[in-house]
Structure 1
Amino acid sequence: MQIAVRSYAWQQEALEHKGFGSARIRFITRPEELSQEHFDVVIDLLYTPGTTYPLLPVNTLLLVHAVTATCKRLPEGAVRLNAWPGFLQRPVMELAATDGNSKARTEECMACLGWQYEWVADIPGFISSRVIAAIINEAYFALEEELSSAAEIDTAMRLGTNYPFGPFEWAQRIGVNQVYELLNIMSTEDERYTPAALLASAVS
């Protein structure tokens, strides 16, 4: 299976750590490079709304990094994956799809790569990103109320929950803007997720 991966250097390193099974991988940086040879699968970790691709064969499987955008906002048949910093390195990859054929072909791709995965509902934030975003928001509320310092909250969460990072460390790694965007979407479902004022003020 020939797979093209569009990624940053740190993402390439994370995937190389996972290994690629029997798949043949070519890392690229620009969508235009997809026209240079045939690929069975395209994994785009740099996808943003409006990304355009050269004309691909109809049977090319497209997996894109899309945390807040659901499948209906992606190219037809595309599969979502969660590649937020800190999430791509996890042993199990979160995936979401609404097209049955794409889902079946993705499972073949994952088997070829030797990657573990979990299908989750096609909702903004998948599952783990929603949990982390909510924790980050609560940490900002606690900081607003001067219950503790950011460093102390991070330490307490790392030691108390065995998380790899504290909530403010997560926010820095992921990007406050991305956390804020997800929380805003989640708050339309439940006002409990309304972003803390201190978090909103940190958005650039």
Structure 2
Amino acid sequence: MMAEAKTTAPLAARGILDSRIESLANASDAVRIEVLPPAVQLNLRLDTARASLDAVRDVLGGDLPGPLSSATTPAGRTLVWLGPDEWLVIDPMRTAELEASLRAAVAGAGAVVEQSGQRISILLEGDVPALLAKGTAIDLHPDEFPRGAAVQAMLGQAVVVFVSRSDDASRVELIARTSFAPYVADWLLDALADPLAYPAPHGG
């Protein structure tokens, strides 16, 4: 008699920070921490002197931001300047045709690389400058880090992209490489375990 074949349930996808989500969410009343859902992330390299910027704008839904800045399109995409000819495109809607459309728009003048599994975003809300002052030299005063500012810098021992999501630096998105994400999460938890740092007043 043949043995009955066993069926197994499909494996559920897990994020690298799944085991830390609850700890991050409950770590502090002063700073709320949210691991953002996975999004399509595309690395765009572009020779702006040769490219059709109108075609790129039509695909992305907005203009590419300039140095040390980011932009949010009406459709909710985030465009982050990474270098003189490099941008990160984050699409929370996970638009299926975005990659192919962007490749067509930059043909002959650039390249598009799908990097959705390479980075993860963590949103901080609250007394964010006081927390991040423990691990970065970035001046997070609103005069220096207004809404839309974006910069790559060290947080502890990891390089992350800091994106300002508010006028007063109370909402900051950290974009970390997946391999460094557990370290960044643990750094945040450790930094919140002690009293927050309070930077000197701007210009002081």
Structure-2-length-normalised TM-score: 0.33
Give the structure with higher Rg (CA). 2
Question: Of Structure 1 and Structure 2, which has the larger fraction of its residues in helix?
Answer: 1
Q: Which has the higher contact order (CA 8 A, sep 6+)?
A: 2
